[in-house]
Amino acid sequence: MSTNHSTQLRRRLATILVADIAGYSRLMSENEEATLLEMQKFRFSLVDPTIGQHHGRIIKTMGDGLLVEFASVHDAVECSLAVQRGMVDRMSGVPEHRQFRYRMGINLGDVLSEGDDVYGDGVNIAARLQEIAEPNGIAISGVVLGQLDDEVQHTFADIGAHELKNIARPVRVYHHCSQSQNKPGNVAFRPFIDVHDEKPMLITGGCLCGGVRYQATAKPLGSMLCHCSMCQRFSGAPILGGTTFLTEALSFTRGEPKYYTSSKIARRGFCANCGTALVYRGTLGVWTKWIMIFTASLDEPEKFPPTYHLGIESTMPWLDIHDDLPRTMCKDSPSLVEAYRTVDEEVP
């Protein structure tokens, strides 16, 4: 009797960890037998026992790689941190060219399971995150970050929204490295600035009456939702979406906004005729290098989904948004703190 193959597949939510050893092919080419023995030693003495202690299940091994499933986000992250700390300790004193250094990616998402194996975007995103991670590093999605407590969250640096191969929506990525000097590009937490992509494109928008029009000739740096009280007052709405571009990539093709200096660090632009909120511009230091367009003024705002929330300390108590995007208070944004520090003020 035949069995319908589709009935064997189950969809469920899972936390997936993908890991591999950086430079494994080179290590094997230098000394295959010694490399295999060393890898087995670390698996048996550290990696596998730590996975077991955190209730993980090794789904498959792929040479130097591992695909592991956890029922708990907390267990997955604590396991990855423990393994990375353990590997750094064990590599102390080992010549750099012979060091074993894992790169790890963790994602929480839907998976399709068939027998003992799992498939789907939940797995694919974890694999792409592993590719982003630095040696001794852990890259996690914003979905994962949102499930962690504050103490653990603060050990991960925001490295921006990334477009991952074969994944439809950008993924906000956060990175931890057991050796802090190895953080990707030494970037700090940047709630406004994402990774720049020089791919040319044309993006247009403007105000309600058409008196002010603009265009951008490069991909935006990222999008977010702001709940801060200034954005609420400026827009007359409980929440305001913003999409950030490099200043040099954006130009006004019809009319110009009228500007209001809303603080010592920035000014906000709007149409003097119809009042449409249009732009937020920094006025000092590195902030002058970018401009944030309010997303709803874009001609196709649906193409620029947000990847996080900012200013959640001012969220209206009756506004209940159900998403898994990470949430940040203004006072926890180092870029805002630094900007206000230059004018001898604290974040309002």
Average pLDDT over residues 54-65: 90
Q: Does 200-341 match 8-186 at the fold level?
A: no
Judge contact between 217 and 241, C-beta under 8 A: no
Cα angle for residues 165, 168, 173 (degrees, 5° grid)? 65
What residues does each domain of the chain span? 8-186, 200-341
Pairing of strands 57-62, 222-226: unpaired
Query: In the prediction, which pLDDT does 281 show?
Result: 94
> Is the CATH number 3.40.220.10 carried by domain 200-341?
no
| 46, HSE (Cβ side, Cα atoms, 13 Å) | 19
The residues, any chain, with a CB within 8 Å of residue 137's CB and separated by 6 or more, are 84, 103, 104, 175, 176, 177, 178, 182, 183, 184
Token output for 289: 């290098």
Question: How does pLDDT run across 225-260, given as a tens digit for each residue?
Answer: 999 999 999 999 999 999 999 899 999 999 999 999
Pick the residue with more confidence: 3 or 342? Answer: 342
Whole-model pTM?
0.65
Instruction: State in words which class domain 8-186 has.
Output: alpha beta
133 neighbors 79 (Cβ within 8 angstroms): no
